[in-house]
């Protein structure tokens, strides 16, 4: 769909008057005009950039994410600061920002935050004429509300020219990742972000005022939850960025990210937390944990979900404080003690952080 047509369809869907009861005299907020919505969305889209990354040789993350990565970011600072999803820039050696007019600018890493998943990068040359977006809030969104997702221009023969997609808010709910990651609130939209390569990584999500409300993280098959098939995307709400942005700028991460890491990929199903994969050279591997093992308790407290498992592990005064796991291996129940690591110290830091 052409960008102008998309803006118009989004604007019309948002600005259409709501049917109110005849007897209602409650004041309602003024409905924005189609022109105002289109201007806000065009301004927001102008702040979207492409990101290209090459990871350092021997990086842990290259096994799952690849050594070369592409995605999107959005300018949020007057100094050209770009917000993206952190896994794009994880252990990056080279970072480039690609503008919509095909300029390729070298960039440096500013921060990577494990707890939220956000990443910050800054171009080493001026972006020229790109105004930062305003940060919105997930609290203002309603199910079914039309939203705009945008992808940046990553250029090159195998690149993506970027584009915009109309999507809708399906719901907001907690999200537990299999890779020792949890958000108490995440944004779920459908249909999925559309681009020539289906690249959702770091794609900014905007409301009808052109405010940034989320950053693209994952393609999901159950956007609606409740074990129903509904392809869509999970976005990390910018609400999580606001209280830690200054800290990320200053120190390269938030204090929440200094937490225990075990090196596990796990799943929860039918009240059981099962280990699916063990990372090489991780505390879990050192302790002898293997795929198929079921985690029954942490420090004597029963855990039946990934959320409970993670929060119990993270509730410690120091990242390397020993943890006692009660596990079931085959038919045998036993207790093991392992010493976690500070995840930030296990990663190769990009130059700049």
pLDDT of the residue at 133:
98
Identify the structural domains of the chain with CATH numbers, from first to last.
Answer: 138-238 (2.40.10.10), 258-346 (2.30.42.10)
Q: At CA 236, angle to CA 220 and CA 208, rounded to 5?
A: 95
| Residue 220 in tokens | 């999901």
- For residue 89, give the nearest of 69, 115, 60 by alpha carbon: 69
Query: Which 8-state DSSP code applies to residue 42?
Result: H
pLDDT of the residue at 26:
46
299 Rama class: left (phi>0) / alpha (psi -120 to 50) / beta: left
- For residue 336, give the nearest of 307, 281, 297 by alpha carbon: 297
- How many whole angstroms separate alpha carbon 246 and alpha carbon 110? 11
Q: Are 167 and 190 in contact (CB under 8 A)?
A: yes
pLDDT of the residue at 211:
97
| Residue 118 in tokens | 């956000």
- How many whole angstroms separate alpha carbon 183 and alpha carbon 236? 8
| Residue 313 in tokens | 């592990």
pLDDT of the residue at 155:
82
pLDDT of the residue at 225:
87
pLDDT of the residue at 17:
42
Q: Cβ–Cβ contacts within 10 Å for residue 58, how many?
A: 9
For the chain, give the number of residues. 353
- How many whole angstroms separate alpha carbon 251 and alpha carbon 241? 14
pLDDT of the residue at 159:
58
Averaged pLDDT, groups of 10, the chain, 353 residues long: 53 48 45 82 94 86 84 96 95 93 94 96 94 96 94 76 90 96 98 72 96 96 88 97 97 93 95 95 95 97 98 92 96 96 79 58
pLDDT of the residue at 64:
79
Give the 3-state secondary structure of 292-331. Answer: CCEEEEECCEECCCHHHHHHHHHCCCCCCCCEEEEEEECC
Query: Which 8-state DSSP code applies to residue 86?
Result: H
């Amino acid at each position: 769909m052409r960008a102008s047509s998309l803006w118009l369809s989004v604007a019309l869907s948002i600005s259409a008057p709501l049917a109110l009861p005849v007897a209602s005299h409650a004041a309602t907020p003024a409905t924005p005009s189609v022109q105002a919505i289109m201007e806000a969305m065009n301004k927001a889209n102008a702040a979207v950039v492409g990101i290209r990354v090459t990871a350092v040789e021997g990086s842990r993350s290259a096994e799952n994410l690849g050594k070369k990565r592409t995605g999107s970011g959005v300018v949020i600072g007057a100094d050209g600061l770009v917000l993206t999803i952190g896994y794009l820039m994880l252990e990056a050696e080279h970072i480039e920002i690609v503008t919509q007019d095909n300029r390729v600018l070298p960039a440096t890493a500013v921060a990577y935050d494990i707890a939220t998943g956000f990443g910050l990068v800054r171009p080493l040359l001026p972006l020229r004429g790109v105004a930062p977006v305003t940060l919105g809030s997930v609290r203002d969104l309603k199910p079914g509300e039309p939203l705009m997702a945008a992808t940046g221009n990553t250029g090159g023969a195998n690149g993506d020219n970027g584009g915009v997609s109309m999507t809708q808010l399906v719901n907001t709910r907690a999200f537990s990742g299999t890779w020792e990651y949890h958000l108490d609130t995440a944004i779920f939209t459908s249909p999925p972000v559309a681009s020539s390569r289906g690249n959702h990584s770091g794609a900014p999500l905007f409301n009808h005022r052109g405010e940034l409300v989320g950053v693209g993280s994952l393609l999901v098959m159950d956007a609606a939850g409740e074990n129903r098939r509904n392809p869509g995307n999970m976005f990390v709400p910018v609400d999580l960025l606001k209280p830690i942005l200054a800290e990320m700028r200053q120190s390269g991460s938030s204090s929440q990210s200094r937490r225990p890491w075990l090196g596990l990929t796990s799943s929860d199903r039918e009240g059981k937390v099962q280990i699916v994969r063990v990372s090489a050279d991780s505390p879990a591997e050192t302790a002898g944990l293997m795929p198929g093992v079921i985690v029954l308790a942490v420090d004597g407290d029963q855990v039946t979900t990934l959320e409970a498992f993670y929060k119990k592990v993270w509730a410690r005064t120091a990242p390397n404080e020993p943890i006692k796991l009660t596990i079931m291996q085959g038919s045998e129940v036993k207790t093991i003690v392992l010493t976690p690591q500070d995840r930030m110290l296990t990663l190769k830091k990009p130059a700049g952080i």
